[in-house]
Amino acid sequence: MTLPRAILFDLDGTLVDTAPDLAGAMNHVLAAHGRPPLPVDDVRHLVGHGARALVTRGLAATGDPAPHLVEPSMPLFLQHYAANIANGSRPFDGVEPALDALAAAGCALAICTNKPTHLAQALIEALGWQGRFAAIVGASSVPRPKPDAGHVFATLDAIAQPGSAAAFVGDSATDVGAARNAGLPVVLVSFGFTDTPAHELGGDVVIDHYDALLPALRGLKPWALLP
């Protein structure tokens, strides 16, 4: 059994545990509004739809949703996060060996994330992952982010693998929706950022550790073919 030639990864909660630094930025915003901080584990369940959604959910989780505060809070959140993007963020166990194995097998790897592209690129650089991915396509690079299929297709276009089989690796309902909308099979990690258990999200395979990623990808049949 062979591997898909193109593999798209979500970033936050899939490749990297970014919750500590996202919580730091969220709590910076909450402190500015006189709100109590949120525990890191609470923030894990608020991530997945981009920074604006995280700020909106963080405000709602600490009292008055105050929708009028969301836009003024965005610069506070983004500036703090950019300045502290890898203070506590770390790759999940086994990620780097899995990426090395996929690269050695000739797979084209890309990131498809609802994080703004410049922040995704900054995180990749801070982790020393330059050159691991053929493309990094964040929400700011597409008209409509995941779960819109266009985000997936834009990422596939960016890695230029026509005629290749592709698959998606993620952690949330947003990722499952994006993969399904684009006609791709999806592998889910069980340790990501989601309120709903991964086994209930409708993925093709759920893995508990990155040691299981390559066997899971080899077992995906049939794969979608890129145009």
Domains defined for the chain, CATH in brackets: 6-17+89-225 (3.40.50.1000), 19-83 (1.10.150.240)
pLDDT at 42: 87
- Span 1-33, pLDDT tens digits: 689 999 999 999 999 999 999 999 999 999 999
pLDDT at 153: 92
- Span 40-80, pLDDT tens digits: 988 888 876 778 888 999 999 998 888 999 999 999 999 99
pLDDT at 160: 83
Q: Which are the catalytic amino acids?
A: 10
Say whether pLDDT at 227 is over 70: no
pLDDT at 194: 87
- Span 83-113, pLDDT tens digits: 999 999 999 999 999 999 999 999 999 999 9
The span from the first CA to the last CA of the chain, in angstroms, equals 22
Please tell me whether residue 164 adopts helix, strand or coil conformation.
coil
- Span 155-199, pLDDT tens digits: 999 998 655 689 999 999 999 999 999 989 999 999 999 889 999
pLDDT at 200: 97
Say whether pLDDT at 225 is over 70: no
Query: What does the pLDDT average to over 104-133?
Result: 96
207 contacts: CB under 8 Å, gap ≥ 6: 187, 188, 189, 190, 213, 216
Say whether pLDDT at 222 is over 80: no
Q: Six-digit token pair at 209? A: 């550790």
Q: Buried b / exposed e across 96-127, counting CB within 10 Å, b at 16+? A: bebbeebeeeebbbbbbbbbbbebbbbbbeeb
- Span 32-46, pLDDT tens digits: 999 999 999 888 888
pLDDT at 143: 97
pLDDT at 198: 95
